[in-house]
Structure 1
């Protein structure tokens, strides 16, 4: 009778999964889920690193373009407005130290600044970002009486571990040029400026070397200064 019932209803003889089979299936599922989430984490980390790399490259490009645009076109002018008339020493607008420099350059009209600007770049300390590379912009020529100088400061680079400058040129424009640690109280601009920046996060920044397009004599600098003063005075 039982045989007949089993033949008539074959589904009654089917057996379910054993406990071991269920455990094996759950183990395999867990391994697959772990591999899936591991792969997703690797992809997320790679994406984050890629974005961080793009950000680092963009920061280098911004800094390089800043120096390329303004330092390469620095104006060889006399800084009569910062010089002490009682000392009898006439300072040149370009002054370079191992950890900072100043020069004069024009900004494009789109920047909202008119006339020549004295650009001062110096490493400084910041409570939040550690050592930073600070840029101060000041109108090079005096403004209308009673009008402020409108000095503006911006941070060019954050988290700076090391900032170093070198200047390539001769001492009197006739001798053999060489790399110098500073460029002070000279009557002309250097031929080249080398900038080295290292960040505290270990990201590599290549050395940047810029060719100053104008390295004229002191006499020509005087004529250029007079022309620049006239040009600034003519602006509304």
Structure 2
């Protein structure tokens, strides 16, 4: 075999070092691009799942709160100043009322219930909190702190003091917005942002929960987070006057 033919065969034997380095570099770039795309796709999927879980959690809490308000009881209670009113006190950001709650025995019993937003104050998101304690017939109420037992009955008898229980319903709630429907003297419906010293329950309660933004302040409520809830207490359900 001639020297020229021998040199031609050497060139056909494989890649040079430079070609191999270029091939490795291109392979690494392709792998990096594929990995980056995978990370982006995985992050997007996790965000979608997170939003779905958040929406589902909000829906469950909203359904529970709706049930609480539907079961609001038109009970009359007397306060420490001897005034008689319905068992409900509400303003634009919190609400106290008597409702039915299930017990470990499987029976529904009457409880005082308070819905409000609480700031833990340690950097954690604000929370929608429900505070409850058993309702006792004949107990005198201090509307300045309705969830705190006064231990006093209508005729001066002593009533066992029960400490309220607090449960976090939903995290990341910046504030509540509450409104109450009533009918004026001309029988026209109007919304007000307070329900105090009334003899009856409101015909409708309208409630929105505004989510926290990255700055900790309230963002506009989104349908996925908490659609506006409008609830009629059961006693008005078939009265034909709730506009529902």
Maintained 8 Å contact 2:117/2:174 = no
Taking a change above 3 Å as real, the CA distance of residues 55 and 102 of structure 1, as seen in their structure-2 partners, is: same
Secondary structure of 2:174's aligned partner = strand
Q: Quick one: structure 1 residues 111 and 163, their matched pair in 2 at CA, closer, same or farther if it must change by over 3 Å?
A: farther
In structure 1, the partner of 2:136 is 141
Q: Residue 38 of structure 1: which of 36, 39, 46 is its match?
A: 36
Question: Which residue in 2 is equivalent to 1:198?
Answer: 210
Whole-Å Cα distance in 2 between the matches of residues 163 and 73 of structure 1? Answer: 20
Contact 2:58 2:170 survives alignment (8 Å): no
Does the 8 A contact of 2:125 with 2:212 survive in 1?
Answer: no
C-alpha change, 1:98 and 1:111, in structure 2 (3 Å) is farther
Distance in 1 between residues matched to 2:159 and 2:77, nearest whole Å: 21
Alpha-carbon distance in structure 1 between the residues aligned to 2:82 and 2:184: 21
Q: 5 Å matches for 1:144-155?
A: 147-155=160-168
How many residues in Structure 1 have an aligned counterpart in Structure 2? Answer: 208
Q: 1:90 Cα deviation (Å)?
A: 0.6
Describe how 1:1-236 pairs up with structure 2 within 5 A.
Answer: 2-3=1-2, 14-80=12-78, 83-84=79-80, 87-109=81-103, 115-128=109-122, 129-141=124-136, 147-171=160-184, 175-201=187-213, 202=219, 204=222, 205-215=226-236
Cα distance in 1 between the residues matched to 2:227 and 2:199 = 30
Alpha-carbon distance in 2 for matches of 1:146, 1:213: 29
When the two chains are superposed, the root-mean-square deviation of aligned CA atoms in Å is 3.1
- TM-score, normalised to structure 1's length? 0.75
Distance in 2 between residues matched to 1:40 and 1:141, nearest whole Å? 60
Distance 2:159 2:114 in 1: 24
**Structure 2: 5+ residue runs without aligned partners?**
140-157, 214-218, 238-244
How many Å apart are 1:199 and its aligned residue? 1.5
Tell me the SS of whatever aligns to 1:95.
Answer: strand
**Unaligned stretches of 5+ residues in structure 1:** 217-236
1:97/1:181 contact within 8 Å kept: yes
TM-score (norm: length of structure 2): 0.73
Cα 1:123–1:13 shift into 2, 3 Å:
closer
- How far does residue 12 in structure 1 lie from its aligned partner after superposition? 6.0
Deviation string 1:65-84 (CA, Å, 9 cap, x unpaired) is 1122110121111123xx12
The structure with more radius of gyration? 1
Question: When you count helix as a share of all residues, which structure comes out higher?
Answer: 1
CA distance in 2, matches of 1:161, 1:62: 18
Structure 2: distance between partners of 1:146 and 1:70: 25
Return the offset for 1:165: 0.5
1:101 is displaced (CA, Å) by 0.8
